[in-house]
Amino acid sequence: MTAAVKLAEAQDNLAQEMRDIGVRARAAASDLAHASTQAKNGALTAMAGHIRAGAEGILKANAQDIEAARAKGRGSAFIDRLALDQGRIEAMAEGLEAIAKLDDPVGDVIGQWERPNGLKIQRVRVPLGVIGIIYESRPNVTADAGALSLKAGNAVILRSGSESLGSARAIHACLVKGLTDAGLPEAAIQVVPSTDRAAVGAMLQGLDGAIDVIVPRGGKSLVERVQRDARVPVFGHLEGLCHVYVDRGADLAKAEAIAVNAKMRRTGICGAAETLLVDRACAKTHLKPLVTALIEAGCEVRGDSDVEAADARVKPASDADWGTEYLDAVISAKLVDGVEGAIQHIATHGSQHTDSIVTEDDAVAETFLRRVDSAIVLHNASTQFADGGEFGMGAEIGIATGKMHARGPVGVEQLTSFKYVVRGSGQTRPA
Amino acid sequence: MTAAVKLAEAQDNLAQEMRDIGVRARAAASDLAHASTQAKNGALTAMAGHIRAGAEGILKANAQDIEAARAKGRGSAFIDRLALDQGRIEAMAEGLEAIAKLDDPVGDVIGQWERPNGLKIQRVRVPLGVIGIIYESRPNVTADAGALSLKAGNAVILRSGSESLGSARAIHACLVKGLTDAGLPEAAIQVVPSTDRAAVGAMLQGLDGAIDVIVPRGGKSLVERVQRDARVPVFGHLEGLCHVYVDRGADLAKAEAIAVNAKMRRTGICGAAETLLVDRACAKTHLKPLVTALIEAGCEVRGDSDVEAADARVKPASDADWGTEYLDAVISAKLVDGVEGAIQHIATHGSQHTDSIVTEDDAVAETFLRRVDSAIVLHNASTQFADGGEFGMGAEIGIATGKMHARGPVGVEQLTSFKYVVRGSGQTRPA
């Protein structure tokens, strides 16, 4: 065979393999849609046990992944995301048990009414179907995303980053044991065995209609590719360009605490603030203390000329700074003309993720909350609350900034659809 | 200029024109998102007045459309959909007034809870943004779809079928007057002036992100193109392959009434039944009366060999019949092995639109309602109730069979998204 023929054959094989995965997922979804809560929770609890019992094997596979990643020259941040230890494995098991304890959304009646003709109409939650998850080097996503999808009655196709595939497969083997224990189909949770990037392409095309929604979990380049190329709906967000706006009506102590927490509690998460906006009307009293508090918390501040004048340690901001997600101990800062200026700045530069206003003036706060078109808007609270757990959802698979179907934290409820169930007593529709 | 250069220039002009429409729609959507209920309802009521006052001009434009369509050899069904008269214009005006009377969904609090840390979280309805509607020759869609989109706070881009464009523009002029009267942006409702099919292509690509969702209204070939080519979400359905399943527990009189109504009340709507499934266990008592009732109501019955044996007038069904949406006085019919057989048949041949079971056995009914994966499932009621008005939604823009965001009748609520509004008192997130 020539190289070209071999390549074509390999491509055909991969395409067929991916189609088969789609067919198996669709069949599993059909069963899962009617699986009992007890069976799903039983599977999740059993999975936790198998993860704990299989810790040694998981750590061995993970050690091989780490060795290979180091050999490829991957940096320490990458290795940290990839690395598992007993504590992380226990956290994974506990995560599965926590998801088992969540209410089952499937079958929930989310609305009901009766028509004058006696028809009783209900809106009832049903699973979405098949979820495709494309993620990078965090092996725990295998367990978290698999479990959350299962709880909502969906089949899931997991595409792990190639560097964590060994770990993902070891974890997956434990999940499958739990499914089998509970009598649920093995194909409820599948891991794509190929590391070929064409497998991602096939998923983005939807595997002949087998995939209902794609959730990307990873860096900007992954999410960009998914959002650009996916032919199926995507739950996710490209960037978290989150703002804290300190209004003239702000309590300074609250503003300092919120700004520092929003930026510095964790700088690498999507809900971390990237820009501080200060009302020009309170610049004299509030700007310097805010800037100082951030700098003293270890944050680099890049400001416009007004902000630069407040503290010699402020660096000049360029235009690019207003659209930069630092994910680091850096914040951009500028003065704006009141809440209207803040709304305008956020509309121009924000990413419709999470934005907060600090003020004691409720009327101004309501203007901000109504007018800022982001998935999450907050009043007198840190943007770092942008998290499914903090919202009380129990667990999330990510945060979505689109407006279709899911917006904000994507938890079990957001992984469901609904149908209308209509009960009658022989009604026919008049002409 | 050569012909090729002229063509390229025309294409560039169209592309630019469509982009401009997108930019205007996005700007209008930004204003509309915060328009008061009073302004929106005022616009809708004013539009109704302008439609009535402008009836003469609308009818004149419509007469020209009809003449051109006749000259092109369009058939009587087409002309009937296209033709307006005083009655239809009055119905359009009344439709606008009815939409004005609907509750405004924007700002509705659809969920709220408080967290242990005192954060108060609300899910609040917001508009989706910009809706693209691609329709064929029914001029009234211009008013209906424009008004429903406006009520939900969305800007809308209407792409009328080329044969009804004159009528659509005349109606649109009345809508714009209503918008202006109420101080709302004219670009809240735009009609694409070009009849070039490339304009549809541009909309399906989303106009550089300006369009959030596309709603196709028309025949199968239009919907197929939209579902195949759209790079933005689509609310719609390709086919309504609706089933009536008559179970062994069915009351025969109810079953006859429901089967005849589901098929024959109107044969051309998507909720019309296309297949009758009869439980083998009650074939002896129920099959012949059901078939006879349908035939005597003027319906052609195409059956499997069992059904053929029931009445000499039954024609043989081919395999293709189980997947055919007749939209005519024709029904396919076959025996199935109980509710499991019905569920299996519907899973194989249905279009996830609307399916009904007739039975007095509630346990069997619940199995059907739970297991049939369609947007609407009914018990002892006609499939012809698949309609937003019949559901009490006031008005609908169509029926969706996808599972993302909207499913079933698409009314004002389904044309909204939501955001999370979080009110605090200075909360920061603990490490």
Residue A77: pLDDT band (50, 70, 90) is confident
The answer, for B377 touching chain A at a CB cutoff of 8 Å, is: yes
| CATH architecture entry for B3-235+410-420 | 3-Layer(aba) Sandwich (3.40)
B101-159: pLDDT as tens digits: 999 999 999 999 999 999 999 999 999 999 999 999 899 999 999 999 999 999 999 99
CATH code of domain A7-235+410-420: 3.40.605.10
**B242-385: CATH superfamily:** Aldehyde Dehydrogenase; Chain A, domain 2 (3.40.309.10)
State residue B1's pLDDT score. 65
Min Cα distance B62 → chain A (Å) is 28
Closest residue in B to A404 (Cα–Cα): B405
State residue B17's pLDDT score. 95
- Cβ atoms of A247 and A254 within 8 Å: the answer is no
User: Would you call B373 and A426 a contact, using CB atoms and an 8 Å cutoff?
Assistant: no
> Stretch A168-183: mean pLDDT, rounded?
98
Share of chain B above pLDDT 90, in %: 92
pTM of structure = 0.93
Could you tell me what percentage of chain B is helix, strand and coil, using 3-state DSSP and rounding each to the nearest 5? 50, 20, 30
Q: What six digits make up the tokens of A278?
A: 């200060």
A-proximal residues of B, 234-263, CB under 8 Å: 251, 253-254, 257-258, 260-262
State residue A2's pLDDT score. 81
Min Cα distance A257 → chain B (Å) is 7
B-proximal residues of A, 133-172, CB under 8 Å: none
User: Would you call A426 and B381 a contact, using CB atoms and an 8 Å cutoff?
Assistant: yes
Q: Which residues of B touch A119 (CB under 8 A)?
A: 381, 385, 390
State residue A107's pLDDT score. 96
A212: nearest Cα among A152, A127, A144, A105: A127
Q: What six digits make up the tokens of A333?
A: 């800062």
Contacts with A48 (C-beta within 8 Å, 6 or more apart), sequence order: A93, A94, A96, A97, A100, A178
> Stretch A126-143: mean pLDDT, rounded?
95
> Stretch A83-108: mean pLDDT, rounded?
96
Closest Cβ–Cβ partner in A33, A384, A419 for B376:
A419
State residue B4's pLDDT score. 84
- Cβ atoms of B259 and B273 within 8 Å: the answer is yes
The answer, for B380 touching chain A at a CB cutoff of 8 Å, is: yes
C-alpha of A236 from chain center: 6
How many helices (H) and strands (E) chain B has is answered by 14, 16
Min Cα distance A298 → chain B (Å) is 16
Neighbours of A287 (CB within 10 A): 23
Query: Over A44-97, what HEC string results?
Result: HHHHHHHHHHCHHHHHHHHHHHHHHHHHCCCCHHHHHHHCCCHHHHHHHHHHHH
Length reported for chain B: 431
B27-49: pLDDT as tens digits: 999 999 999 999 999 999 999 99
Q: What six digits make up the tokens of B249?
A: 């527990």
A111 SS3 class: strand
Q: What sign does the CA torsion over A246, A249, A253, A257 have?
A: negative
Q: Is the pLDDT of residue A1 over 80?
A: no
Closest Cβ–Cβ partner in B374, B379, B382 for A419:
B374
The chain-wide mean pLDDT, for chain A, equals 96
Q: Which stretches of chain B drop beneath a pLDDT of 50?
A: none
User: Would you call A370 and B213 a contact, using CB atoms and an 8 Å cutoff?
Assistant: no
The answer, for A60 touching chain B at a CB cutoff of 8 Å, is: no
Closest residue in A to B419 (Cα–Cα): A375
State residue A4's pLDDT score. 84
Torsion on CA atoms A39, A43, A49, A55, rounded to nearest 10: 180
Neighbours of A341 (CB within 10 A): 16
User: Would you call B425 and A380 a contact, using CB atoms and an 8 Å cutoff?
Assistant: yes
Q: Which residues pair with A156 in a beta bridge?
A: A131, A189
Residue carrying structure tokens 């995303």:
A145
State residue A351's pLDDT score. 96
The answer, for A33 touching chain B at a CB cutoff of 8 Å, is: yes
Rounded Cα distance, A235 and A283, in Å: 39
Per-domain boundaries in chain A: 7-235+410-420, 242-385
Cα separations in angstroms, B148 against B92, B151, B390, B414 = 12, 5, 17, 10
Q: Which residues of A touch B431 (CB under 8 A)?
A: 265
User: Would you call B121 and A374 a contact, using CB atoms and an 8 Å cutoff?
Assistant: no
Closest Cβ–Cβ partner in B261, B404, B421 for A405:
B404
Closest Cβ–Cβ partner in B391, B405, B424 for A379:
B424
Contacts with A188 (C-beta within 8 Å, 6 or more apart), sequence order: A28, A29, A31, A32, A43, A150, A155, A156, A179
